[in-house]
Chains A and B, each alone.
Chain A
Amino acid sequence: MSTENHFDYTGSKIGMWLFLFTEIILFGGLFLVYAVYRYTYPHEFHEAGEHLQVSLGFANTLILLTSSLTAALAVSSLQRDRKYASLWYISGTVALAAVFLINKFLEWSSHISAGMYPGAPALLAKGHGENLFYGLYYVMTGLHGVHVLGGAGALSLVYVWILQGKVDKDRYVALENAVLFWHLVDLVWIYLFPLFYLLI
């Protein structure tokens, strides 16, 4: 279909949802690993979880939930042909993504400087369960972080497309899809938060 571009709104959305399914399964694999090890080492996970700061996790949850709200509002604004409101909402979402990542970075740094990183002697000395807990913590929040970056990137790209007029009130499926991806990032965090921070 190189010459004419016939456009299928529902088709692109089906494609996006199918892509989200692969993401669900991808994280699902990690949740499986988590489930097995949490079942095997319930008390060690508990002990290790106490060292994560609930307040930081709570703050990041609020940040992501709010960013999901602004992302959703970006779509409905564009649908109502309020282009600049939509652009503002997108900027807000990306800014919140940045705050989330900075928060995450500070959190990781504090753990690493406390000697809690994979392969660190201090962590290995704590025992198997703790080691696995922190291992999974880094892998799962790390992969989630990569998705935050990806989502922010996708939203920024759509921002440019809106400015260029490629995405507008009649053809907003690109924005809708980027926002769907963003909600998925939020969705994953909704589970990560209690599984890592609320083992108190």
Chain B
Amino acid sequence: MESEQHFVVTNKTFISVWAALVALTVITVLVAQAHKGNTSVLVPLVIATTKASLVLWYFMHLKYEKKLFKLMLLVPIITLLVILGLTFLDIWFR
């Protein structure tokens, strides 16, 4: 067993994050209902990404991990964005 220091997150932190996630979910539903008929995907995506970041940062411990983990996570995210962008070069201009 290696003698690495593991940060134990308090229950309070976890519960606050959960409350924030629930609040954001309520907000995204309310926004959608207030703007009925609006096909924009931007607002729901921004909210979803905020939620996802909370899950990654706290629930998945990323905040407390070595720098390596944070850097590595960027790789698939950038890959996906690049794939999406290049595909849309075709879709947009077809």
- Name A residues whose Cβ lies closer than 8 Å to a Cβ of B: 7-10, 13-14, 17-18, 21, 24-25, 28, 31-32, 35-36, 38-40, 42-43, 45-46, 54, 58, 61-62, 65-66, 68-69, 71-73, 76, 79-80, 170-171, 176, 180, 183, 186-187, 190-191, 193-195, 198-200
Contact = CB atoms under 8 A, between A and B. Distances in A.
Contacts of A18: 72
Provide the main secondary structure of the chain A interface: helix
Given A10-B4, A76-B11, A199-B39, A65 B84 contact: no
Interface string B58-91: 1111000110110011011101100110011001
Contacts of B14: 69, 72-73, 76
Contact of A190 (B51, B84, B88): B51
A62 B88 CA distance: 33
6 contacts: A14-B72, A24-B76, A66-B18, A72-B14, A80-B8, A199-B39
